[in-house]
Amino acid sequence: MHKETTPDAGGTGADVNIRSSAFAAGQAGAGSQSSMPHPPIGPKDTLGDIYYKTYTEEARSDAPHHPPWGLKQKDTFLEFAPCREWFLNSFPPGEVNRKMARTHDGLYHAYVVGEANTRASNNQIVREWRTMVMERGDWEKYRERLLRQVKFEADRKSEEWGREGLRGKLRAAEHLLAKERADWKKICEKDNQRMYASRAKITDLEAQNVTLTMKVEDLEADKGR
């Protein structure tokens, strides 16, 4: 891509003349005559001017269009110069020549029709864009509600899983408690049986003791007689 150079951009008039002559010589070798008559190359012409003035359909009709911009990557369309640069060098030489071949009335007619259609299209675009913006706003609100609903469902499932886990632990504890109660009941039954047996033995011993005491008393009474 050729970069536009002007004396005001930092180069001297001699530098521009040398570059312009070299560029024109190279283009002249590709085609002798231009499809449309252009003003002669002047000493103040930029590389962009030379790019368009030296175009010939015979030599460069199939060559890719490389806009000879002096635009920099940091440029924005907030300033006049980058906008003018973009307008001057955006269009391919074939289209520039086609417009140059038209009469002033033809260009005026094309400008009025094109501008009116552009403004009408812009009006419709703004209307549709407003609708799209409103629909996008509604969609964003719906998306937010959907995300909140999804989060709520996820939290609810997590809570349910937590409750189910607690229920599982509770069931395990109840099962263990029931088993311990059953074991404790068996232990109590065995203890009760041992206690009943011990109490029966004690009762028998007490009865035997009473019987023996009575026998002893009877023997002592017999001896006293």
End-to-end Cα spacing for the chain:
157
> What pLDDT is stored for residue 161 in this prediction?
85
- DSSP assigned state of 8: G
The encoded tokens of residue 72 equal 């920099």
Structure tokens at 130: 């407003």
Angle at the Cα of 183 (from 177 to 187), degrees rounded to 5? Answer: 140
Which of 139-175 are b and which e, b meaning 16 or more Cβ less than 10 Å from the residue's Cβ? eeeeeeeeeeeeeeeeeeeeeeeeeeeeeeeeeeeee
User: What is the structure's pLDDT at 83?
Assistant: 93
- By C-alpha distance, which of 2, 98, 106 is closest to 57? 98
What is the structure's pLDDT at 25? 42
Give the residues of the chain that fall short of pLDDT 50.
1-35
Distance between CA 81 and CA 83 in Å, rounded? 5
Instruction: Give residue 107's pLDDT.
Output: 93
- d(C-alpha 47, C-alpha 62), whole Å: 20
Within the chain, where are the H helices? 13-30, 47-53, 57-60, 80-89, 93-100, 104-224
